[in-house]
Amino acid sequence: MADQAGALLEALPDLAGRAVLVVGCGDGRFPRLFRGNGARRVVGVDADQALIAVAQREEERDPAGISYEVHQLARLPVMGTFDIVTAFLDSPGPLGRVAASLAPGGLLVIVAPTGISLEESLRDNGFQDIVRHRHESGDVHSARKAS
């Protein structure tokens, strides 16, 4: 997972002053990392209520200004407008739902298992500047939402 974290951070621009949504945030490790790297607003979402509870306890213990919500990926609502959306996906199916919270011109960064191709789905959903970074722990796809 450390390799995945490094690959994800490499794909992200400077986070200072940006709003970031983390879909599949788990126990809150990535939201805390992004907030620590200067993101002004961070929201973490995960389907696992137990993991969100862990993240919320950590937020209560050491407040960083991060909010967490439980949502199933298949029913993910628009979470607001974000400059950057990161997601952990194992298929292209939920791409449109994940991208719905991204501002025009915003950056979508997806961590997916090696071998899953998202390029066509990204193009079909109006993304450009698509880059795929291959790593042994999973591929990181980044793309900019058309303005």
Give the model confidence (pLDDT) of 75-120 as tens digits: 999 999 999 999 999 888 899 999 999 999 999 999 988 778 889 9
Residue 129: inside a domain: yes
Question: Which CATH number does the domain housing residue 45 bear?
Answer: 3.40.50.150
Domain limits for position 130: 1-7+16-138
- Range 31-63 burial, b when 16+ CB lie within 10 A, else e: bbbbbeeebebbbbbbeeeebbebbbebbeeee
pLDDT (mean) for 29-37:
95
Residues 6+ apart with CB under 8 A from 7: 111, 133, 135, 137, 138, 140
| Contact predicate 144/127, CB 8 Å | yes
Return mean pLDDT, the chain: 91
Mean pLDDT on 36-47: 96
44, 73, 108, 111, 135 from 1: Cα distances, Å:
18, 21, 20, 11, 11
* pLDDT given for residue 123 in this prediction: 92
Q: Is residue 145 included in any domain, yes or no?
A: no
Rounded CA-CA distance 52/6 in Å is 23
Is there a contact between 43 and 80 (Cβ–Cβ < 8 Å)? yes
Q: How many domains does the chain have?
A: 1
Residue 125 lies in a domain: yes
Would you state the pLDDT for residue 18? 98
Pair 88, 68: CB distance under 8 Å? no
Q: Is residue 116 part of a domain?
A: yes
What gap in Å lies between CA 4 and CA 9, rounded to an integer? 9
Percent of the chain with pLDDT over 70: 97
Spell out the residues 6+ positions from residue 56 whose beta carbon is closer than 8 angstroms to its own.
28, 68
